[in-house]
Structure 1
Amino acid sequence: MSLRSLIPIVVLLAACGDPQSSHEEKRPTADLRIAFNVYTNTPEDNYEVFVMDLDGANRKNISNTPGVEWVYAAYGDRLLFLSDRDTCHRCYFLYEMDADGNNVRRISDHRMQDSWMGSRFNGAEFIVDPKGINDTAFFRLDTSGKVLDTLYHGLAYANDPCFSPDGNQVVFRGANAKFKQDQGYYDELYIINTDGTGRRQLTHYPANDTTAEWWAYHAGPPQWVPLSNRISYCSKRKGNLSIFIIKPDGTDEQQLTPDGFDEDWHAWSSDGNWLVYSGTPVVSDEDRPVFDIFLMDMRTKHVKQITTDTLSEQAPVFVRAPVGTRPGAYP
């Protein structure tokens, strides 16, 4: 949350799969909201899903359920989230709801890993990471929760699958050891064809960088940059988390966000002009960081902090306001 972030705590209209309609491409910020996750109650381990406008106005808790609710993806005005409601603590199942928190629906009865996910074919299919005997594979689901296919990745550990924009490939985070505590565990990005062929490693953590603790990301959850032949991810290097981009062939790696600040989970607007992410000043291992939501204009590199309170707010995604609640003017 991912909840991986509790050791200690350390987004997506088009980032993992489907491009948006031509109307949305022409006016990419029209009717957009930001959905994000808020850690609200430490003793009860309570996470809620909030939404707000791009300027932070009209903030609202749309999940309002005890336990863990964590949004991982969006398509149109629908949010895909994991929840342990109606089950055991941190036993996650896949749900959807609209951007106002209405029309909540459980998609699948398969228990899920704590993992990002992607969609393709106009939101008709999802790729997810199931938990249990199928830990060595990803599931491709339809909107009814039916398993359409099983994608075996061939690694001891894999998580956070994301469809390419054309839906023919999946980029994911993987490792040759199953657990982070295991010797030889280094998470890197891999890419594979949807038929299970052609797996190859994209990222290679710098051998001379020893600043990433055992629990920290060498390569974090990937997102596909819309309208660009690039994949973005976070990585802890030189003592802090930053967001990087890389080509699908593993070349031309670049750092997007500056050092001296931790920036991690993120999402892209459908035209690639806006990057929303969670970030926090770098703190000591003894302190619990408080994350806020930031919005970067990729054309000017101007960054605006959207949230400023004492709650920890993370992993934002862009989502469309439901029809009937959208403003009449474009930003």
Structure 2
Amino acid sequence: MIKYAIEACLILLLTTLISCGERNKSVEESNKINEPEYAIAYNVLYNDSTDNYEVFTMNMDGSGKQNITNLSGVEWTYYSFKDKLYFISDKDTCHRCFFLYETNFKGENPKKISDLQLADSWMSSRNGGQELIVEPRRKVDSAFQIININGSLVQRLETGLPYSADPLFVNNGNQVVFRGGMTKSKLIEGFNEALYIIDLDGNNRKQLTHYPENDTTAGKFGYKAGTPKLHPTENFISYQSKQNGKYSLYAVTLDGSKQWKLTENQENEGWHDWSPDGKWLAIELFDNDQTQFHIGLMNWKTKEIKVLTDTSFQYQQSPNFVLKMTNE
């Protein structure tokens, strides 16, 4: 009887373990199914002799690389919202005269968003992706413009600075962080690049970043404060800056009270993007002489980073995350 009782207990224990294992596996598979599936879009210098830039996308593991624009001129992407990928293009117009287009991660059914000629600048959106803030070409307008997804003007934003670029909505779209300069370009003495925050009515402009006074390594043309990006869950601004002779990513709070070095990668770090869930950081990586640019992907929790690109192309830059599909 004791033997049979032990065998019964062992069978019951084994059945329980199998059941628990299957249940845990089921939970893991369910979580995996619910996990958003992203592609990474990035810009590639496809043919240097003809100034041909293309937009590529790839999977999060670096597989499935594809040219999704396949045009003869200049196409650059700087922003996506959910499954909508936005890119600027000079197709059907003069060289580097840019207009805004929308597509998906496969490059399907591209459509022109606006007849507003744009500058080469990053952008962002608010109101569930229904409104974009963009930088027009300076000959067209010196102010940022907020447009809807049909291309109609919603509002202009004058920053009050001679130079303004790379606008980023923050605080639920009620304020904008941007890269500003005290002269019209880096060619003019006193540019003093920094990140600023401003209300949508143009009031309460405040300087957020302050470049180290004794650091001269950025020189005249290096970024002291590059394109701002908002961490979606931790609510700080990240940006590239050349300090101590190397480009790294830095961060600043939205009130400017804290500024710190964000990453510790050996490579130079440039344009970058956060996944919408805040778990991943895609970074442009390059050597000191800027002879080879790669796209790297960092797990923000573990800080592990993996290079996703190879040396098929020299310039592979400006990554941004785009959802492969959405249920909405």
Normalising by the smaller structure, the TM-score range is 0.7 to 0.9
CA separation in 1, counterparts of 2:138 and 2:252? 32
Of 110, 119, 126, which aligns to 2:116? 110
What is the correspondence of 1:97-246 to structure 2 with a 5 Å cutoff? 97-246=103-252
1:44 to 1:128, Cα distance in 2 relative to 1, 3 A: same
Corresponding position of 1:315:
318
C-alpha displacement at 1:29, in angstroms? 5.2
Asked whether the 8 Å contact 1:275–1:296 carries over to 2, the reply is yes
1:241 to 1:38, Cα distance in 2 relative to 1, 3 A: same
Asked whether the 8 Å contact 2:197–2:207 carries over to 1, the reply is yes
Q: Secondary structure at the match of 2:49?
A: coil
CA separation in 2, counterparts of 1:27 and 1:217? 40
Matched AA of 1:224: L
Corresponding position of 2:300:
298
Corresponding position of 1:89:
95
What is the correspondence of 1:8-87 to structure 2 with a 5 Å cutoff? 30-87=36-93
C-alpha displacement at 1:255, in angstroms? 1.1
Corresponding position of 2:253:
247
Asked whether the 8 Å contact 1:290–1:310 carries over to 2, the reply is no
Query: Which range moved further: 65-74 or 133-142?
Result: 133-142
CA separation in 2, counterparts of 1:200 and 1:27? 43
Q: CA RMSD in A?
A: 1.8
Query: Which range moved further: 71-80 or 259-268?
Result: 259-268
Q: Secondary structure at the match of 1:43?
A: helix
Q: Which has the higher helix share?
A: 2
C-alpha displacement at 1:205, in angstroms? 0.5
C-alpha displacement at 1:83, in angstroms? 0.6
- 1:228-274: CA deviation from partner (whole Å, max 9, x where unpaired): 22001100111111111110111221212226421010000122121
C-alpha displacement at 1:27, in angstroms? 7.9
Query: Which range moved further: 270-279 or 111-120?
Result: 270-279
Q: Runs of 5+ in structure 1 lacking a partner?
A: 1-24, 325-331
Asked whether the 8 Å contact 2:232–2:277 carries over to 1, the reply is yes
CA separation in 2, counterparts of 1:219 and 1:318? 22
Of 271, 279, 304, which aligns to 2:285? 279
Q: Taking every aligned residue pair, what percent have the same amino acid on both sides?
A: 45
Moved over 3 A (4+): 25-29, 132-135
Query: Which range moved further: 258-267 or 187-196?
Result: 258-267
